[in-house]
Amino acid sequence: MQNRQSKCLPPVADGPQAIPANRAAATGAILSRWVAVGLLLALAACKPAGLINKTKYDGKKWVNTCDEFRKEVEGLIEANQVEGKLVVSEYDNSEFNHYYLEPGQFEQIGDTLYFRLINDLEYGKYVQKGVAVIVRANAYVPEELNELMASEPDEIGRCIVDEAYYNANREPVFLYKIPLLSDLDGRGLKLSFSIVQFNKKGGIKKEFCQTVETPLGPLTPACCAERPWATAEAHSIIELPELNISDEAYRYKGFIGTLDLIFPMNSTRFNQKKLNDVIFNFLTRYESSGFQVRSIHIDGYASQGGKESYNQKLSEARCEAVQKDLVRHLDKLGRTGEVNITYTGRGEDWQRFEELVNSRNFTDRERDTLLAIATSNISADDKEAQLRRLPFWNKLVDQVLVDCRHTYIQFTFRYVNDKMYVEDYDQALPIESAELYNAATTEHVITRYKRGVDPRRNLSVLNILIDERENKRPNLFAMRSTYHLNLNQIREAVTDMEQAAELDAKNERFKWAGLALRTQIAHEFPIKERIRMYNDYNTYIVKYPNEPSLKRNRLVLMDKVGYISGALAGYTKELQENKASAVLYNNRGVAKLKANRLTEAQADFEEAVALNPELAEAYFNLALIAAWRGQTSRTIQYLDEAILLNEQFKCEVYGNPVFRAMIKANANKFKKYLCK
């Protein structure tokens, strides 16, 4: 303590010295002046280095210095290094309609940038006695966007936080309000702080110290770093160009036609004319529709009128007789050896026996008796003996047994004209039936995705036609791409459209469509790839200046590249010519959202759903803004609207960082959005 005091005292002589008498008065005067100067120097030496001011605040005395100010700003900057994180509300603000920002949130409304900082400066201890803090907003263009965006003066706005401003804006929470000389859209934000003293005329009397510019807040352009709003996956809508995707016809893969031939008792003879008519009328008729018989199987049967062993041999003999006649007929058609014919002698036909007993004219008592014998566990010969002793044996022969002496023939047809077929017809029918003929001659038609069709069923059909049947046709690939797009399977849609473009190299519209689909997921690509895509759009637009989809999809890509100012200017121009375009309003809203102009983005999304109440993407985007603000009830309302219109959005809720805090605080309310 004594050492510190001694540094504040003026210097003294080493020892007493004699002073001449004639210089006494002059010496006294000189000593008096040196003592005064020494005291002033001592007082100056006692002031802390870089002193700003000494104040009373919050019941404490503060000695404010530049070193302390810089340290506090460094801590503030560190707490607010959230450019890689999207800061959303952690509280339920559903009941509040006033404008409210959470710490770490930024928003530009009109020409003013509003924000709150995390662990802000204690302004109250500084801004006294004419001292103020100047907060400068400085814009910068990332290196990746230098070729797209013109550089502008660094400082685009400032906020002077003096005692009056601080007291006027500290309740309920302290907000920065920086009037901007130009929009931030697509540029990064750096903040710097300086502490000054103003004179009575409002000019800067003294600048104590200034901090370096530091990137701050979630305002990193969409091209770069973590891209906070890109991870939120707000939904822009790409527009496919007019594509000439024609309808495609396909058939059943095949079907089974049946023929039942009845035989006399103990005989292998049958109605050969009937078989001849089937071969020459129906086989040739089906083949003219593209279906060719590929195999024939014969099941031979005998009735329950003799020994089981005899009936087994008789059923086999009947099969052989039919097979021989089939071979003869196929020889006449020039199909010798092309059709595989197999047979099985099955003996007595007890299954048909039961079916005929149930369908023919028997009394209930007779029917019960016959079925009891047929289903008993005794041998077939014992069953026959019991049947012969029945008083209505002759009735049984006439109504049942005569039709159990038969062969059951199955003709299997396959479609052979081309590979445009899917599944087999689901039931075997008599070969002469009208229903089977209709199945063979009906063409099924599949189209590009249209509202009202079952997208999953049609996608399944196309998967079979393309992948399993190997119909590698550009029209089919382009058609399947439209179904992937509807189901939000964008990567698969891109692959298919690019395959169509490769197979039909002269069709540039397939190339435009592939570029459009890639635009939908452009945020997944490196910035160099996105800029290459942007240049592809420029090339196409020069070549095809009247193609609207190219211009509009380029605006979506501008947003995803980070060229937000260009995108917003383009959307505004397009909307002057297309005032009723819900898609343009929605897409401009997404660009505004990424520029942290959320109030303006909300207005665009609301206009989009007013123009098209079935635009699911706009409802989903409104839910993002409501969640960012902590408005739980509105978030749920908008999500319900979006999912009602497109159930695919249900699977996007739990994985979206914007909804994360709200889900954590309202787990029960969000359970319905779990995607299984």
* Helices within 376-454 (DSSP H only): 380-388, 393-399, 434-441
Q: Decide: residue 460, CB within 10 A, 0-12 exposed, 13-18 middle, 19+ buried.
A: middle
**Average pLDDT score, the chain:** 88
Domain locations in the chain as residue ranges: 2-14+23-46, 60-224, 232-237+545-676, 252-441
Task: For residues 4-29, give the mean pLDDT.
Answer: 38
C-alpha closest to that of 189 among 624, 629, 564, 605: 564
Check if the beta carbon of residue 510 is closer than 8 Å to that of residue 504. Answer: yes
* Helices within 1-149 (DSSP H only): 2-7, 24-46, 66-79
Check if the beta carbon of residue 632 is closer than 8 Å to that of residue 92. Answer: yes
Check if the beta carbon of residue 608 is closer than 8 Å to that of residue 585. Answer: yes
What pLDDT sits at residue 492?
97
pTM of the shown model: 0.76
What pLDDT sits at residue 148?
83
Q: Which range scores top for mean pLDDT: 80-94, 187-201, 494-508?
A: 494-508
Strand partners, 178: 113
Q: Name the band, by pLDDT with cuts 50, 70 and 90, for residue 334.
A: confident
Kindly tell me if the per-residue pLDDT of 527 is higher than 90.
Answer: no
Place of tokens 């509807």: 486
Q: Name the band, by pLDDT with cuts 50, 70 and 90, for residue 152.
A: low
What pLDDT sits at residue 21?
45
Q: Name the band, by pLDDT with cuts 50, 70 and 90, for residue 80.
A: confident
Place of tokens 């393309």: 466
Check if the beta carbon of residue 286 is closer than 8 Å to that of residue 293. Answer: yes
Residue 206, helix vs strand vs coil: strand
Place of tokens 């079925």: 371
Among positive and negative, which fits the CA dihedral 413, 414, 417, 423? Answer: positive
Task: For residues 618-634, give the mean pLDDT.
Answer: 95
Kindly tell me if the per-residue pLDDT of 570 is higher than 90.
Answer: yes
Task: For residues 459-468, give the mean pLDDT.
Answer: 97
What pLDDT sits at residue 227?
64
Going by the DSSP 8-state scheme, the letter that residue 213 receives in this structure is P
Question: Rg of the chain's alpha carbons, rounded to an integer?
Answer: 45
What pLDDT sits at residue 98?
57
What CATH number is given for 232-237+545-676 in this structure? 1.25.40.10
Check if the beta carbon of residue 665 is closer than 8 Å to that of residue 125. Answer: no
Going by the DSSP 8-state scheme, the letter that residue 251 receives in this structure is B
In terms of pLDDT, which residue wins out, 45 or 154? 154
Kindly tell me if the per-residue pLDDT of 400 is higher than 70.
Answer: yes
Kindly tell me if the per-residue pLDDT of 7 is higher than 70.
Answer: no
Task: For residues 370-382, give the mean pLDDT.
Answer: 96
Check if the beta carbon of residue 524 is closer than 8 Å to that of residue 516. Answer: no
The CATH T-level fold of domain 252-441 is: 60s Ribosomal Protein L30; Chain: A; (3.30.1330)
Residue 295, helix vs strand vs coil: strand
Kindly tell me if the per-residue pLDDT of 365 is higher than 60.
Answer: yes
CA distance 324 to 461: 40
What pLDDT sits at residue 17?
37
- Go through 316-327 and write b for each residue having 16 or more CB atoms within 10 A of its CB, e for each that does not: bebbebbbebbe
From first CA to last CA, the distance across the chain in angstroms is 73
